[in-house]
Amino acid sequence: MTDEAGPKEQTLVLIKPDGLSKSLTGNILTRLSETKLEIAAAKCVHVSRALAEEHYKSLRDKPFFEELIEYLQGKFHSRKKVLALVYVGPGAIRKVRELAGATNPEEADAVSIRGQYGRITTKGVYENVIHASSNVQEAEREIKLWFEPDEIIYDLYPAETVEVKAKKRVWVKTQK
Ligand code: UDP
Ligand code: MG
Protein backbone atom coordinates (compact mmCIF):
# COMPACT_ATOMS: atom_id res chain seq x y z
CA MET A 1 0.00 0.00 0.00
CA THR A 2 1.30 3.47 -0.80
CA ASP A 3 1.33 6.28 1.72
CA GLU A 4 -1.45 7.93 -0.33
CA ALA A 5 -3.77 5.94 1.92
CA GLY A 6 -2.05 7.28 5.03
CA PRO A 7 -3.39 9.95 7.34
CA LYS A 8 -3.46 13.56 6.25
CA GLU A 9 -0.50 15.53 7.47
CA GLN A 10 0.55 19.16 7.32
CA THR A 11 3.86 20.94 7.07
CA LEU A 12 5.11 24.52 7.20
CA VAL A 13 7.08 25.82 4.23
CA LEU A 14 8.89 29.15 4.22
CA ILE A 15 10.35 30.61 1.05
CA LYS A 16 13.24 32.48 2.65
CA PRO A 17 14.37 36.02 1.70
CA ASP A 18 17.03 34.72 -0.74
CA GLY A 19 14.34 32.76 -2.60
CA LEU A 20 12.17 35.88 -2.90
CA SER A 21 15.08 38.21 -3.77
CA LYS A 22 16.29 35.89 -6.52
CA SER A 23 12.78 35.73 -8.04
CA LEU A 24 12.62 32.00 -7.37
CA THR A 25 9.11 31.98 -5.87
CA GLY A 26 7.44 30.62 -9.01
CA ASN A 27 10.15 28.02 -9.59
CA ILE A 28 9.95 26.81 -5.98
CA LEU A 29 6.14 26.63 -6.00
CA THR A 30 6.29 24.70 -9.28
CA ARG A 31 8.76 22.23 -7.76
CA LEU A 32 6.51 21.87 -4.68
CA SER A 33 3.52 21.13 -6.92
CA GLU A 34 5.32 17.90 -7.93
CA THR A 35 4.31 16.56 -4.50
CA LYS A 36 0.59 16.89 -5.38
CA LEU A 37 0.05 18.27 -1.89
CA GLU A 38 -2.53 21.00 -1.34
CA ILE A 39 -1.81 24.58 -0.22
CA ALA A 40 -4.02 25.32 2.80
CA ALA A 41 -2.60 28.74 3.73
CA ALA A 42 -0.21 31.34 2.31
CA LYS A 43 0.95 34.81 3.28
CA CYS A 44 3.87 37.25 3.04
CA VAL A 45 5.45 38.03 6.40
CA HIS A 46 7.84 40.71 7.62
CA VAL A 47 9.76 38.61 10.12
CA SER A 48 10.36 40.22 13.52
CA ARG A 49 13.41 39.25 15.53
CA ALA A 50 11.11 37.61 18.10
CA LEU A 51 9.41 35.46 15.44
CA ALA A 52 12.74 34.41 13.89
CA GLU A 53 14.19 33.52 17.33
CA GLU A 54 11.10 31.53 18.30
CA HIS A 55 11.08 29.68 14.97
CA TYR A 56 14.73 28.65 15.32
CA LYS A 57 14.83 28.39 19.14
CA SER A 58 16.27 24.86 19.10
CA LEU A 59 19.38 26.27 17.36
CA ARG A 60 19.97 29.04 19.93
CA ASP A 61 23.34 27.63 20.98
CA LYS A 62 24.73 27.20 17.46
CA PRO A 63 27.59 29.47 16.37
CA PHE A 64 25.61 30.53 13.28
CA PHE A 65 22.45 31.48 15.25
CA GLU A 66 22.85 35.29 15.02
CA GLU A 67 23.46 35.20 11.25
CA LEU A 68 20.58 32.74 10.83
CA ILE A 69 18.16 35.12 12.59
CA GLU A 70 19.35 38.03 10.44
CA TYR A 71 19.09 35.86 7.30
CA LEU A 72 15.47 34.89 8.06
CA GLN A 73 14.65 38.55 8.69
CA GLY A 74 16.02 39.45 5.25
CA LYS A 75 18.91 41.54 6.57
CA PHE A 76 21.17 40.23 3.77
CA HIS A 77 18.62 40.58 0.97
CA SER A 78 16.61 43.16 -0.98
CA ARG A 79 13.27 41.49 -0.18
CA LYS A 80 12.95 41.63 3.60
CA LYS A 81 10.16 39.12 3.98
CA VAL A 82 9.31 35.45 3.67
CA LEU A 83 6.42 33.65 2.00
CA ALA A 84 4.86 31.28 4.53
CA LEU A 85 2.74 28.35 3.34
CA VAL A 86 1.00 25.34 4.83
CA TYR A 87 0.95 22.22 2.64
CA VAL A 88 -1.50 19.44 3.47
CA GLY A 89 -1.73 15.84 2.31
CA PRO A 90 -0.48 12.30 2.89
CA GLY A 91 3.21 12.21 3.80
CA ALA A 92 3.46 16.01 3.52
CA ILE A 93 6.46 16.36 5.87
CA ARG A 94 8.60 13.71 4.19
CA LYS A 95 7.62 14.70 0.66
CA VAL A 96 8.56 18.35 1.13
CA ARG A 97 11.78 17.54 3.05
CA GLU A 98 12.86 15.18 0.25
CA LEU A 99 12.15 17.73 -2.43
CA ALA A 100 13.90 20.46 -0.40
CA GLY A 101 17.09 18.40 -0.10
CA ALA A 102 19.85 18.40 2.52
CA THR A 103 20.36 21.41 4.83
CA ASN A 104 23.80 22.11 3.33
CA PRO A 105 23.09 23.19 -0.25
CA GLU A 106 26.52 21.88 -1.36
CA GLU A 107 25.57 18.42 -0.12
CA ALA A 108 21.96 18.54 -1.31
CA ASP A 109 20.96 16.41 -4.28
CA ALA A 110 21.62 18.53 -7.37
CA VAL A 111 17.98 18.38 -8.49
CA SER A 112 16.52 19.16 -5.06
CA ILE A 113 15.31 22.73 -4.43
CA ARG A 114 18.28 23.51 -2.18
CA GLY A 115 20.69 21.76 -4.58
CA GLN A 116 19.35 23.82 -7.48
CA TYR A 117 19.10 27.22 -5.81
CA GLY A 118 21.00 27.29 -2.50
CA ARG A 119 24.48 28.60 -1.71
CA ILE A 120 26.82 29.00 1.25
CA THR A 121 27.75 32.62 1.96
CA THR A 122 31.30 33.76 2.71
CA LYS A 123 30.10 34.15 6.35
CA GLY A 124 29.19 30.45 6.28
CA VAL A 125 25.39 30.77 6.39
CA TYR A 126 23.54 28.16 4.38
CA GLU A 127 21.24 30.26 2.21
CA ASN A 128 19.08 27.34 1.19
CA VAL A 129 15.97 29.23 -0.06
CA ILE A 130 13.37 27.12 1.76
CA HIS A 131 12.37 25.93 5.22
CA ALA A 132 10.36 22.74 5.68
CA SER A 133 9.14 21.28 8.98
CA SER A 134 11.11 18.21 10.06
CA ASN A 135 8.53 16.18 12.01
CA VAL A 136 4.89 16.17 13.17
CA GLN A 137 5.59 17.97 16.47
CA GLU A 138 7.68 20.67 14.82
CA ALA A 139 5.09 21.11 12.06
CA GLU A 140 2.37 21.75 14.67
CA ARG A 141 4.55 24.16 16.65
CA GLU A 142 5.64 26.06 13.53
CA ILE A 143 2.19 26.25 11.88
CA LYS A 144 0.71 27.62 15.13
CA LEU A 145 3.58 30.12 15.36
CA TRP A 146 3.18 31.49 11.83
CA PHE A 147 -0.60 31.24 11.30
CA GLU A 148 -3.79 31.96 13.19
CA PRO A 149 -6.63 29.42 12.87
CA ASP A 150 -8.68 31.57 10.49
CA GLU A 151 -5.74 32.07 8.12
CA ILE A 152 -5.83 28.35 7.27
CA ILE A 153 -8.71 26.98 5.21
CA TYR A 154 -8.97 23.77 7.26
CA ASP A 155 -9.25 23.16 11.02
CA LEU A 156 -5.88 21.46 11.36
CA TYR A 157 -5.73 21.76 15.15
CA PRO A 158 -8.38 22.43 17.80
CA ALA A 159 -9.25 26.12 18.00
CA GLU A 160 -11.52 28.15 20.24
CA THR A 161 -13.26 31.51 19.97
CA VAL A 162 -12.29 34.16 22.50
CA GLU A 163 -13.55 37.71 23.03
CA VAL A 164 -10.92 40.27 22.16
CA LYS A 165 -11.03 44.02 22.44
CA ALA A 166 -8.28 45.25 20.21
CA LYS A 167 -7.48 48.02 17.79
CA LYS A 168 -6.95 47.08 14.16
CA ARG A 169 -6.15 48.93 10.95
CA VAL A 170 -8.92 49.08 8.37
CA TRP A 171 -9.06 50.46 4.83
CA VAL A 172 -9.79 54.19 4.66
CA LYS A 173 -13.22 54.72 3.08
CA THR A 174 -13.07 56.80 -0.09
CA GLN A 175 -15.96 58.75 -1.67
CA LYS A 176 -17.15 57.30 -4.98
N1 UDP B 1 22.12 26.47 8.95
C2 UDP B 1 23.35 27.08 8.71
N3 UDP B 1 24.49 26.37 9.00
C4 UDP B 1 24.46 25.12 9.52
C5 UDP B 1 23.22 24.51 9.77
C6 UDP B 1 22.07 25.22 9.48
O7 UDP B 1 23.40 28.21 8.22
O8 UDP B 1 25.54 24.54 9.76
C9 UDP B 1 20.88 27.21 8.67
C10 UDP B 1 20.20 26.78 7.37
O11 UDP B 1 19.64 27.95 6.74
C12 UDP B 1 19.13 25.83 7.85
C13 UDP B 1 18.72 26.48 9.17
O14 UDP B 1 19.94 26.97 9.72
O15 UDP B 1 18.05 25.72 6.93
C16 UDP B 1 18.05 25.55 10.17
O17 UDP B 1 18.89 24.46 10.42
P18 UDP B 1 18.34 22.96 10.56
O19 UDP B 1 19.42 22.14 11.15
O20 UDP B 1 17.02 23.00 11.25
O21 UDP B 1 18.18 22.51 9.03
P22 UDP B 1 16.86 22.32 8.13
O23 UDP B 1 15.79 21.72 9.00
O24 UDP B 1 16.48 23.69 7.60
O25 UDP B 1 17.30 21.41 7.01
MG1 MG C 1 15.05 22.32 10.87
This prediction's pTM: 0.95
User: Looking at residue 4, what is its pLDDT?
Assistant: 57
Spatial distance between the Cα atoms of 73 and 94, rounded to a whole number of angstroms = 26
Give residue 1's pLDDT band: very low, low, confident or very high (50, 70, 90): very low
> Would you state the pLDDT for residue 2?
45
Decide whether any atom of ligand 1 lies within 6 Å of the 64 Cβ. yes
Looking at residue 5, what is its pLDDT? 53
Those residues with Cβ within 8 angstroms of residue 19's Cβ, 6 or more apart along the chain or in another chain: 25, 28, 83, 117, 129, 130
**CB neighbour list of residue 68: distance below 8 Å, 6 or more residues apart:** 52, 56, 59, 62, 125
3 has a pLDDT exceeding 70 = no
Q: Is 77 a catalytic residue?
A: no
Question: Residue 39 C-alpha to ligand 1 middle, in angstroms?
Answer: 24
What is the structure's pLDDT at 7? 67
What is the average pLDDT score of the chain? 95
pLDDT score for 8 = 86
78-115 pLDDT tens trace: 999 999 999 999 999 999 999 999 999 999 999 999 99
Q: Is the CB of 76 under 6 A from ligand 1?
A: no
Cβ distance 46 to 81 under 8 Å? yes
Q: Which tens digits make up the pLDDT trace of 35-91?
A: 999 999 999 999 999 999 999 999 999 999 999 999 999 999 999 999 999 999 999
Model confidence band, residue 30 (pLDDT cutoffs 50, 70, 90): very high
- Is 128 a pocket residue for ligand 1 (Cβ < 6 Å)? yes
Nearest CA to ligand 1 atom 22: 103
Phi first, then psi: give them for residue 25, nearest 5 degrees.
Answer: -55, -50
DSSP state of 84: E
